[in-house]
Amino acid sequence: MTLRYRSPGVYFSPRTRTFTLMAKSSMYVMRVDDGRNLEHLYWGEALPMEDDLTYLSIGNTIIMFDPVGTLTVPKILGLDELDEISDIQGLTDRWKVYTKQKNDPERGSRPRRLENASWRLWTMERNKGGDLNRDLGTETLLSALGEEEAKDEGRFSEKEESKIKKIPTSPTDGHPVPRAATPPFSFLPGPKTAPTSPPVPVSPMGEHIFDHFPKSAGTLTALTQQEPESIIHVVPSEPHDMSRTFPSVRDFREIREHPRHPEESIVNWNVLDPTMAGKNSKLFEFADRGTGDYREPSIMVTYADGSTVSPFEYIQHKIEKGKPRTPEYFPNVRVEDVHEATTLTIDMMDPVTKLVVRLFYTVMHDYDIITRRIEVVNTAGQPVWLERLMSATVDFDSNKYYMTQLSGGWARERQIVTKELQDGLTTFNSCRGASSHQFNPFLVISVGAPFSETTGSVYGFNLIYSGNFLASAEVSESRRMRVNMGVNPVGFRWLLESGESFESPEIVLSYSSTGMGHLSRQLHRLYRNRLIPPRWRQKGCPILLNTWEAVYFKVNHEMVCEIARCCKNMGVELVVVDDGWFSQRNNEFSSLGDWYPNLEKFPFGLEGTVRALEEMGMAMGIWVEPEMVSVDSDLYREHSDWCLHVPERMRTMGRNQLVLDFSRKVVRDYIFEQLDAILGCANITYCKWDFNRHLTEIFTSQEDWPPERQGEIGHRFVVGVYEVFGRITTKYPDVLFESCSGGGGRFDPGMLYFTPQIWASDNTDAISRVYIQYGTSLAYPPRTFGSHVSTVPNHQTLRSTSMKTRSLVAMNGSFGYELDPRHLTDAEINECLGYVQLHQRFRDLVWNGDLFRLRNPFHNDTGAWMYVSEDQHEALVMAVNVRREVGRLEPRLLLQGLGPGKIYEIEELCPGKLVRNVGTGAIELDPNGVYQFGRTLKLSGHSLMVAGLPIKFLFDADSVLFHLKLVSNYQ
């Protein structure tokens, strides 16, 4: 028998109440437990469709010294085979039959199981929702049934026999019995409904097809025979209410609404359910607060009465093709065709207040990626304060876990930090109003060891958000581990009036069973194809020169034209006029907010300079910092209340500027008009949107937002920024926007949704950039890195590196220059032109190929990586020696991602030209270049990946570049 795996989509089994989210080759499984919680079962590589994963619930709880959940119920074997009996008489009959049958060896163990189950149910019924911990021995049972009847167990009337024979039995192949869509069996008296529905079509796996599916049972059966998986594409048109398939305990809501005695509505009926015991260790999808799970919750609310207890119960779900619309301008993974994704929406409700949370899971069929987001809908009829809402909570089974984060600071962004998780909370976050240089909203969990590039299970979490976030991993006393990620609750308090709803940012969950490399590659592919604006998917950035490190604030028309004339010879296509072009801006102290050109510097306006550059065959870009205002500005003089501030309090300056209050429409509209005026006045084709300080005094005008809504301003600011980005990029779709925040302080998927590239760091030193870009590549594709060649000695580190190394490093991104070309010699201009041509030759491979990280500079003296084309016909290998240890040899570089049976020709590009004269010890120039191998190599992908490529470095910051081209295939 061959194992069968489901094709991508979302599957629901009413029999087990299990949702299986099938991604490309991995799956995510959860179920609705008997307490109507969403229990997490599994996330990992795909498992055979035959397997019922509810067995993973076994051992899912632990009962410790814990005031909650210490009541437990022994598992009632056979209970699930008795579900169609809805009255005590039927139960009595059944019990008698099984008692009789259980000693017949030919019938196997089934009658014994069923006898036990019917006896227990009978007893519970008799005890009215009874005390399951009571020892109900045979004596009790006998007296309960009445001596007579019990002894008479062998005598049945014909009528009774025939009734019993109609009870469905398990097929001999061991597959579970399909259940008809009948009301749940209740062992407490309740309305008795006879099973009336016609037989429900069943998949080969015993799972139900919803009876309200738009297709007929016949069609489904036919589909099943021809193509078993096709049944999964059937989508219910209406939300599926699972109350019909709910457990064999009396419905909790019914108990609440129609208590049969006063205490019934308030006792914790969950104790009847073994799955509810030990709630503090169970794996959940959505963790509530105040009912026995003491780990960090998914949600925190305060109700109008001041209470914070907020359990949520499953109400209904819906499975639909594609992805439902998200609010306008709210960044999220784009789904462009209904066939490329399936979305599961699950509604959960606080049964007392009626507050609803709606969980959205979108499975991307071509990736091992699921996106999640949450909407809270206030149907409570009263205001509710939302104090925490995680975009995802994922509970992991007990194990040894390592967490990797990307942290650093200004000019040192996204360094790779890995640590083993220990008991308690390990968190990182941003409280700065932006995703920040310090911590990136990206978290990786690796199992058993720090992540490897090529092996092991790795889980990635990436929040599509540019503001305050929280990422946490919590190891509880049972060694269960919970990851929570979402908007940072610090400073967040959202008033949800009745009828209002709140949307969390979306989060990307990715899985790889083959290490970090694969995880990164699928994120790269997703972000290139489904996150950045579609228009820029196939189109990269022109080769640009940015004036910042060339002349800083001293830009003017003449100078820009001169710079353009020089760098045109280097192959540059666009000049970006960075800071300093507007109003009185000559330094960091003034003019932000006054977005009109300084006519002394640009006497012909921006349009004049654009025209001059266009005449040279070049384009022009511009720098702006729309969210900021200088105190010394016309804008501030006129509207000093437009910045974030608390009246009467000091306004904290950062880089001598304040932050405009983008939570206010009036401010957003004003800034939009300013940007519109700049971009509308001339053919500006590129715009760098900077953001140079973080938020303080997060408070806003009472005109717009009353006191009770001040806890919303941090988030409203981010949403406001998205709105302006959305409006302006919609109006100017051909303008390429690059975002920036003092370098890479807002390098996150939220920004990538609007801007296909982000200035990765204010540190342009090639060696520092190896670390920054290597770390950034864990989550983000190289084509999104703004990456420039700057002058030497470098302005941030005073380090000098060769033009070759600076160029190779800059080629791993959107290539450009950040230097004054007027100071370059002709030879240097020519050298630059050579690298520009190299970049042009390989940019498609770098931007769209698969990245394989070969050597981690954080652990080695060298950073190395390679790009492989999708068809494996071509590859580009790069290595940079970040720290030269004299006399140490570099280990061979084991390549990855090649076709093992393919033969590649290996060409070394731009070999170094400096060499030590072994006779004199002097450094000399070898105009022919110092090649690594001295001849062309032709080798199989297999040898290159297993034996590797020997490389050597001669000097500090030395680098190598190889191009591999397919020449033939082994048969």
Least gap, CB of 658 to ligand DGJ (angstroms): 15
Residues annotated as part of the active site: 690, 762
Sign of CA dihedral 903, 909, 915, 919: positive
**Shortest gap between Cβ of 520 and ligand DGJ (angstroms)?**
25
752 token code pair: 């990538």
Nearer to ligand DGJ, 36 or 585 (CB): 585
Q: Which string of b and e fits 454-485 if b means at least 16 CB within 10 Å? A: eebbbbbbbbbbbbbbbbbbbbbeebbbbbbb
Nearer to ligand DGJ, 19 or 581 (CB): 581
In sequence order, the β-bridge partners of residue 425 are 474
732-768 burial string, b = 16+ CB within 10 Å, else e? beebbbbbbbbbbbbbbbbbbbbbbbbbbbbbbbbbb
- For ligand DGJ, the closer CB: 96 or 788: 788
Encoding tokens for residue 92? 């009595």
Shortest spacing between CB 590 and ligand DGJ, in angstroms: 12
Greatest Cα pair distance in the chain = 114
Six token digits for residue 473:
């991993």
For 858, residues 6+ apart whose C-beta sits below 8 A from its C-beta are: 415, 416, 771, 774, 775
As a three-state string, the secondary structure of 255-276 is HHHCCCCHHHHCCCHHHHCHHH
CA–CA separation, 186 vs 453, rounded Å? 53
Tokens for 856? 């981690």
Quick one: 183 or 742, whose CB is closer to ligand DGJ? 742
Q: What residues does 567 pair with on adjacent strands? A: none
Return the number of the residue (335 or 740) whose C-beta is nearest ligand DGJ. Answer: 740
Task: Please give the Cα distance from 163 to 783 (Å, whole number).
Answer: 70
User: Least Å distance between CB 689 and ligand DGJ?
Assistant: 10
Q: Is residue 235 within 8 Å of residue 324, measured between CB atoms?
A: no
Minimum Å gap between C-beta 578 and ligand DGJ is 5
Cβ nearer to ligand DGJ, comparing 578 with 748: 578
Nearest distance in Å: CB 692, ligand DGJ: 5
Q: Is 692 within 8 Å of 628 (Cβ atoms)?
A: yes
Give 522 or 755: the residue with its C-beta nearer to ligand DGJ: 755
Which residues bind to ligand DGJ, rule: CB under 6 A?
548, 578-579, 623, 690, 692, 740, 742-743, 759, 762
Nearer to ligand DGJ, 209 or 819 (CB): 819
CA distance 426 to 474: 6
CA 584 to chain centre: 43
Q: What's phi and psi for 647, nearest 5 deg?
A: -50, 145
CA distances from residue 519 to 24, 356, 466, 516, 758 in whole angstroms, order as listed: 13, 33, 22, 5, 21
Distance CA 935, CA 938 (A): 10
DSSP state, residue 127: T
Residues 6+ apart with CB under 8 A from 843: 540, 811, 815
Nearest to 15 by CA among 275, 346, 242, 241: 242
Main-chain phi, psi angles of 627, to 5 degrees: -85, 5
- In the complex, least distance from residue 556 CB atom to ligand DGJ, rounded to whole angstroms: 16
Q: How many angstroms separate the Cα of 687 from the Cα of each of 68, 566, 622?
A: 57, 22, 5
What are residue 342's phi and psi, to 5 degrees? -130, 140
Give the whole-angstrom CA distance, residue 636 versus residue 594.
9
Interatomic CA distance for residues 523 and 516, integer angstroms: 11
Q: Give the residue with the Cβ less far from ligand DGJ, 248 or 692.
A: 692
Q: State how beta strands 439-447 and 313-321 pair.
A: unpaired
What are the structure tokens assigned to 602, written together? Answer: 């640009």
Cβ closer to ligand DGJ: 451 or 623?
623
Cα–Cα distance between 490 and 338 in angstroms, integer? 37
Distance in Å, CB of 663 to ligand DGJ, minimum = 24
Closer Cβ to ligand DGJ, 494 or 747, answer by number: 747
- In angstroms, the CA 915 to CA 925 distance is 6
Cα dihedral sign for 721, 722, 725, 726?
A: negative
The answer to whether the CB of 520 falls within 8 A of the CB of 778 is yes
The distance of closest approach from Cβ of residue 275 to ligand DGJ in the complex, given in angstroms and rounded to an integer, is: 53
Minimum distance of ligand DGJ from residue 370's CB (angstroms):
34
627's tokens: 């969210």
Angle between helices 605-615 and 665-681 (to 10 degrees): 40
Six-digit token pair at 496?
A: 């949800």
Residue nearest to ligand DGJ (CB): 579
Nearest approach, Cβ of residue 468 and ligand DGJ (Å): 21
Q: How far apart are CA 142 and CA 158, in angstroms?
A: 24
Sequence-distant (6+) residues with CB within 8 A of 304 are 380, 382, 383, 384
Q: What's the closest the beta carbon of residue 601 comes to ligand DGJ, in angstroms?
A: 15
We find the least distance from the C-beta atom of residue 762 to ligand DGJ, in angstroms, to be 4
316's tokens? 């209904």
